[in-house]
Chain A
């Protein structure tokens, strides 16, 4: 029994069903994600991992079942019942996202890319840029704030994406194959820095991965197969 198991989870999925045309991607998934934990979702291609992440994050509304988000100090929200504008607001203020590739706006400098979520949330630009640069420094990108994504290495660009995901201090970080396009050294670097920051901030992380080495950084792993959770177990430290 873990201490987390005694408190209400920050995210709960119950009976999630979702289909794309005739293809059933999720078949009644139940899953709890606890505050502050790093959860790795593994499984083969086409197993429904990304669909599960999108449903948890309020990107997709499941065809059946529900997703409940319990933010600290606020009333629980059934995200699957919200309209898109409210879900978009929630994603902006409470969630952060890191994807495998192609997520940075190519014409914006690294600092501007990181500052966008803050600007969207209403922060003034000088303050947004200051916080962006600060975060970039913490991720080992000092002096690269003025560079364009095309001028950065893959690992550097991915760290910029991590900075952008964390700049608003989200409650939950969703990462979909965040190191899928990186070599092992760069992967390790990105994951180490990202997890250092999230653990320090107490941020919950849901990370989708194929890679067992990446999953090893998590507190817990769930295996998704054919749209259902096949197994769930804690990762030994």
Chain B
């Protein structure tokens, strides 16, 4: 290709430089986001891999003894600890200031061959290894609120066994006897490297759908910016055709002139991604930021993205130019878009059908197979995204047709006519935002399956939110428990220490469904109607965090607490975080508890909802990225729509059309396609969310979205308004008399 000809095509005027800068800038933003998102996805995976050992469930440390009655089991025989195993107990509720600490208590022979990830040798009893973040927390907190729970510091857990720099993990040493006491310890000979256990397929599906949802708007952005200044380019190419360039040469020039700024932009995007990586790593996901190294994509991936973006934009530019049919006489006649037909709904329906099929398969046990369900779910989701973009112009044209018939103002007629004639181009402007709203609705719908973890309000008959309780392990004497209670009463912020009794420890088969209390202690637990007896009973469910109906005390005239064993200890605090953690530290280090002490709030910090909550954080992060990109796309395409028509709009201004009318035209051209498809996006988003969550697990139930969703929707609309108004100054500048005069 003649370099002189290429130079003429690529640069040649100030507006050409502006267009090139616009393409380069947009591609830079897109590539930067792609690399950060890719890095983020890889980083999350790497992070989960590093933390996989925390999901190790081991094998039982007690072998069940057969009994004559097949419905019961015997007391069980301990499986001996050997040098190729460690005895481990995962503490389910180790909490500090509402932060869950991943605690593993281990007992092992000094000669053990088992390697616990991140530490050299298992800690001896009374010593602990902590993650750096936890150790910093321990060092900066009074020992009676946290440090005393773990013993003596033995060392830090290596980064290669930590999900992130903020992970709170502790491995504490214990004796074999201590761990065997409550029967919950397991034997581990090797730590798992599978981070999701049985949820791998579901997790991968959700991640794939999330990745598609976030990458799609980025690709739209790149597609929009590379189409900048199409009208001027057509004029320039027409001139080249007039002086003898063949359609092939013009297509090649179009490819190169888009490839050059795309390459510059893509390289700039790589540099930006490297520069922004440390900042991106600061975004907390699942309670922890990421290691900056987690976001590194590698040069090969960066080169692949650059090559892909540059070649795709060049090919699309060549294709668009070839399709425009630019002749030697220039663009004397407007090239009209093909009128979108109702057939455009097919991809959307196909996507919905694919997802529905996945649900049908989920509900048909003999057909169930992750290899069938997951591709249908992921493929269906991708098809729906494409389907919205494909059906959008058809819907936009329908609505604008109605609008044109009703239009009364010049702005209405001009905007509706343009949309009517170019529904694909006008819808493209808002497609990013429409997709973002769809994605946000999917995320919000899917996130709504997370149950509320709000603790019930303080009421008489319910365990007070400011108190902690711990069940007492079997075999502990009343004196030991009373001693712990006495110690607790002496701590600042602890208002009461109540011991509940029963015929046998709560963890044993002989446990009573009721807890016996001294009536005098009942007010400290928040009871008001107290029977006039010395001893009272309350149902054990009083202790459960999910109990929302008040429990009543009943008289227990025949009970004699001296003949019973302590089964629970409840500490009432003043509600300050310091007092709660002090009480928790005392109970957990007292050695008398069978389970760690917990408040009614703590349940919300654990259980299976944590995975979903983690995904919800990712979802909202996805929302933010998708909406931000969409706003940028809308601003870029609105600017492009003005630049492409600057001569005719300038002439209208010259003839006396006020700038305010031009603003209204631009606003309407964004508002009509946006509002036409917005409701569909919202509805489809929730439908897809329902299909998705039901497809993954039919026990999930969707509810109303969180307030964050409405905030995100509001933000999207504000962003749309912001993006359009940001171009208002461009309208005034590009249609100014002096500019139009020289066009």
Chain B CB within 8 A of A124 CB = yes
B413 near A119 with CB under 8 A, answer yes
Instruction: Name the interface residues of B647-664: CB closer than 8 Å to any CB of A.
Output: 647-648, 651-658, 661
B656 near A112 with CB under 8 A, answer no
Not counting A97-B654, A107-B422, a sample of 6 additional A-B residue pairs whose C-beta atoms are within 8 angstroms of each other reads A90-B656, A91-B655, A97-B655, A104-B648, A117-B656, A150-B333
A106 near B334 with CB under 8 A, answer yes
Instruction: Name the interface residues of B610-657: CB closer than 8 Å to any CB of A.
Output: 647-648, 651-657
Given contacts A115-B413, A116-B413, A120-B410, contact A92 B420 (CB under 8 A): no
Chain A CB within 8 A of B414 CB = yes
Q: Kindly list chain A residues whose C-beta atoms are within 8 Å of the C-beta of B408.
A: 119, 124-125
Chain A CB within 8 A of B274 CB = no
A-B CB contact pairs (8 Å), 30 listed:
A59-B654, A60-B741, A85-B658, A88-B653, A88-B657, A88-B658, A91-B654, A91-B655, A96-B655, A99-B651, A102-B647, A102-B648, A102-B651, A103-B651, A105-B418, A107-B334, A107-B421, A108-B413, A109-B417, A112-B413, A112-B417, A116-B410, A116-B414, A116-B652, A120-B656, A120-B661, A148-B334, A148-B421, A150-B334, A150-B336
Nearest CB of chain B from residue A23's CB, rounded to whole Å: 12
Q: How many residues of A contact B (CB 8 A)?
A: 37
> Could you list which residues of chain B lie within 8 angstroms of chain A, going by C-beta atoms?
333-334, 336, 407-410, 413-414, 417-418, 420-422, 647-648, 651-658, 661, 737-738, 741
The B interface is mostly helix, strand or loop, or mixed, namely helix
Q: Kindly list chain A residues whose C-beta atoms are within 8 Å of the C-beta of B413.
A: 108, 112, 115-116, 119, 125
Nearest CB of chain B from residue A132's CB, rounded to whole Å: 11
| Nearest 7 pairs of A and B residues by beta carbon | A92-B656, A91-B656, A150-B334, A119-B410, A107-B421, A106-B334, A107-B418
B417 near A105 with CB under 8 A, answer yes
Instruction: Name the interface residues of A106-147: CB closer than 8 Å to any CB of B.
Output: 106-109, 112, 115-117, 119-120, 124-125
Chain B CB within 8 A of A95 CB = yes
Instruction: Name the interface residues of A60-94: CB closer than 8 Å to any CB of B.
Output: 60, 85, 88-93
Q: Kindly list chain B residues whose C-beta atoms are within 8 Å of the C-beta of A103.
A: 648, 651
Question: Looking at B333, B410, B422, which has the most chain A CB atoms within 10 Å of its CB?
Answer: B410
Question: Looking at A60, A103, A120, which has the most chain B CB atoms within 10 Å of its CB?
Answer: A120
Q: Kindly list chain B residues whose C-beta atoms are within 8 Å of the C-beta of A149.
A: 334
Chain B CB within 8 A of A50 CB = yes
Q: How far, in angstroms, from A97 to B410 measured CA to CA in the complex?
A: 17
Closest to A112 in B: B413
Chain B CB within 8 A of A27 CB = no
Chain B CB within 8 A of A220 CB = no
Q: Kindly list chain A residues whose C-beta atoms are within 8 Å of the C-beta of B407.
A: 125
Q: Kindly list chain B residues whose C-beta atoms are within 8 Å of the C-beta of A106.
A: 334, 421, 648
Q: How far, in angstroms, from A110 to B410 measured CA to CA in the complex?
A: 14
Chain B CB within 8 A of A210 CB = no
Q: Kindly list chain A residues whose C-beta atoms are within 8 Å of the C-beta of B661.
A: 120
Q: Kindly list chain A residues whose C-beta atoms are within 8 Å of the C-beta of B647.
A: 102
Nearest CB of chain A from residue B361's CB, rounded to whole Å: 47
Nearest CB of chain B from residue A162's CB, rounded to whole Å: 13
Question: Looking at A95, A107, A109, A116, which has the most chain B CB atoms within 10 Å of its CB?
Answer: A107
Q: How far, in angstroms, from A150 to B407 measured CA to CA in the complex?
A: 23
Nearest CB of chain A from residue B652's CB, rounded to whole Å: 7
Q: Kindly list chain A residues whose C-beta atoms are within 8 Å of the C-beta of B654.
A: 59, 91, 97
A119 near B417 with CB under 8 A, answer no
Q: Kindly list chain B residues whose C-beta atoms are within 8 Å of the C-beta of A91.
A: 654-656
Q: Kindly list chain A residues whose C-beta atoms are within 8 Å of the C-beta of B333.
A: 150-151
Nearest CB of chain B from residue A104's CB, rounded to whole Å: 8
A89 near B656 with CB under 8 A, answer yes
Q: How far, in angstroms, from A54 to B740 measured CA to CA in the complex?
A: 11
Nearest CB of chain A from residue B668's CB, rounded to whole Å: 13
A119 near B409 with CB under 8 A, answer yes
Q: How far, in angstroms, from A165 to B656 measured CA to CA in the complex?
A: 11
Q: How far, in angstroms, from A87 to B657 measured CA to CA in the complex?
A: 10
Q: Kindly list chain B residues whose C-beta atoms are within 8 Å of the C-beta of A96.
A: 655
Closest to B736 in A: A84
Q: How far, in angstroms, from A125 to B422 measured CA to CA in the complex?
A: 23
A117 near B420 with CB under 8 A, answer no
Nearest CB of chain B from residue A71's CB, rounded to whole Å: 15
Closest to B743 in A: A102
Q: Kindly list chain B residues whose C-beta atoms are within 8 Å of the C-beta of A20.
A: 738
Q: How far, in angstroms, from A106 to B417 measured CA to CA in the complex?
A: 9
Nearest CB of chain A from residue B640's CB, rounded to whole Å: 16
Closest to B404 in A: A112
Nearest CB of chain A from residue B662's CB, rounded to whole Å: 11
Nearest CB of chain B from residue A169's CB, rounded to whole Å: 14
Q: How far, in angstroms, from A119 to B417 measured CA to CA in the complex?
A: 15
- Picked from B421, B657, B737, the residue with its CB within 8 Å of the CB of A120 is B657
Q: How far, in angstroms, from A92 to B434 measured CA to CA in the complex?
A: 38
Nearest CB of chain B from residue A119's CB, rounded to whole Å: 4
Q: Kindly list chain B residues whose C-beta atoms are within 8 Å of the C-beta of A125.
A: 407-408, 413
A92 near B652 with CB under 8 A, answer no
